[in-house]
Homo-oligomer: A and B are copies of this chain.
Amino acid sequence: MALTRQQQKEKTKTLLVSAGLEIFAKNGIQSTKTLDIAKKVGVSHGTVFVHFPTKKDLLIEIIDGFGRSISEEFKKLSADAHNLRKILKIHLKVIEKHENFYARLLIENALLPGEVRGTLINLQTGIAYFINSAARNEMKAGDIQTMPSHLLFNTWMGLISYYLLNKDIFAGEKSVIKTKGNEILNHFLKLIKL
């Protein structure tokens, strides 16, 4: 059966977004051309601009969607996790699942349009909240050292970002999180332990 116009339109738009997500993860965000995305979907180049007035708008839609979905996933998984180790483990798991795109985002973030940069910040802010509340509980309980929670969070994010940004050095073609995630996690926990 033939699709209605609206269905067709939405389908194409979705295909463009998911093709973009995939190509961005593999080849980089900036260096991906609108034509590449059109080709992958199997539509003409012009079609991209039927759905998105500019490349930037496409970018925003893709990255925002990614941010929303990853944030949701994290919240769902960590709903019943209350100790820090578990939450950090979930954090790693979620990142690992989307490692390629996430790493791309970290790499290119500072060069992306301002509208998009907010996405990564929001994402991290959301995650910081969970990590910090768990951390404060364990500080009170005397399980870990007392320290300002922003420093604890920045140390954790710094470590993870550093490994992701240099993932080719640390893990070649493989997943850094899969390869080094446990080592990083145990090291971090040992550092902050009392």
Q: What's the tally of chain A residues with a CB closer than 8 Å to chain B?
A: 29
Chain B residues, CB < 8 A from A165: 109-110, 161
CA distance A110 to B165 in the complex (A): 8
Choose the segment among A45-53, A57-65, A76-84, A186-194 that binds chain B (4+ C-beta atoms closer than 8 Å).
A186-194
A162 at interface, CB cutoff 8 A: yes
CB-defined interface of A177-190 with B at 8 Å, one 1/0 digit per residue?
00000010001101
Choose the segment among A10-18, A67-75, A93-101, A147-155 that binds chain B (4+ C-beta atoms closer than 8 Å).
A147-155
A43 shortest CB reach to chain B, Å: 28
CA distance A1 to B160 in the complex (A): 58
A163 at interface, CB cutoff 8 A: yes
Assess the B110–A190 pair: CB atoms within 8 A.
no
